[in-house]
Chains A and B, each alone.
Chain A
C-alpha cells in the first residue's frame, strides 16, 4: 500500500480522536499518548483495534509494548534499562525516537514515551 506521510498522520489522528475523545488540534506529532492525550492502559487496546482496521494491518502486542524486555533482569538494573537493554529496545522499536529516554532510561518513564509521531512511523513501517 502506498500512502503519503500526511495520509498516514490523518488516519492515525482520526483513530486517536475516536479512541481518546480528544480534539483534532491536540493530536500533533510531538504529543505523547499518555501525558498529552491522556491515554490509559485500556485505551492502547482500543487504539490497536482502530489502527488495525484503519490500515488493514496486524499489530502484535510485543511490538508496541516491549514488557518482556522491560521486565527482564538481563536488560534492567536498579530500575534503569541497561545499555544492552537499550540496544534490544532499539532493535524492537526502530520506529520510536528513544533518544530522550536514553538520557535517563528509567523503566517507569517508558509508559509515557510514545508520541503520535512514533505511532505514525510504526504504522508506516507496517504498510
Chain B
C-alpha cells in the first residue's frame, strides 16, 4: 500500500495555507474492509491526509531543512462520515511555528458542507537523534509531490511559482 492520503494539492501558499483533495472510492481496501458492509473512509486516515498536507506546508516553510513528524492531535471533530463517491476538500492553515515544532488548524468539507475540524502539532526530529538524514530516499519526496501536483499550484515565499528544491 502506498502511503498517499491526499490525491492532489489544489492550492499552496508558502508559510500560509494549503488546500488539497481526497476522493473516496469503493475500490479502496481501507474503505471497503474497515467496517464490512458499511463502507466509509476511516477517520484516522483523514487525519493522516491532513497531516501530510500540513506537514508539507510546515516543511516547505522551513526550506525543507526540518524532519517534520506529526506529534500531537490537539482536536479532531468529525461531523459526518466520508462515503464512496465523496470528495473531501482539505484546507490547512499554518498557525504558529517554534524552533522545535509547528501548529496547524485544518478543516475538511464535502460538497461545501463541514466534514471535519482538526488541529495538529508537528515536531522536528533533532539532528543526531532517531535516524540521521532525511526521512525520504533522495528524490522520493519530490516525486510524490510532483504526482500530487504541488508544483502545479504552489506559490513560494517570493510570490513566484514554487520550484523543486534541490533539498528534495
**Measuring CB to CB, which residues of chain A are less than 8 angstroms from any residue of chain B?**
18-19, 42-43, 45-46, 48-49, 52-53, 61
Contact = CB atoms under 8 A, between A and B. Distances in A.
A59 to B, nearest CB: 8
Report the contact-size class of chain B (Cβ under 8 Å from the partner): 10 to 19
Interface of B: 71-72, 74, 95-96, 98-101, 103, 121, 123
Q: From DSSP, what is the main secondary structure of chain A's interface residues? A: helix
Closest 8 CB pairs of A and B: A45-B101, A49-B103, A42-B71, A61-B99, A46-B121, A49-B96, A46-B72, A45-B100
Contacts of A42: 71-72, 121, 123
Given A42-B72, A45-B101, A46-B74, A53 B96 contact: yes
B152 to A, nearest CB: 32
B62 to A, nearest CB: 15
B20 to A, nearest CB: 23
B100 A49 contact: no
Contacts of A49: 95-96, 98, 101, 103, 121
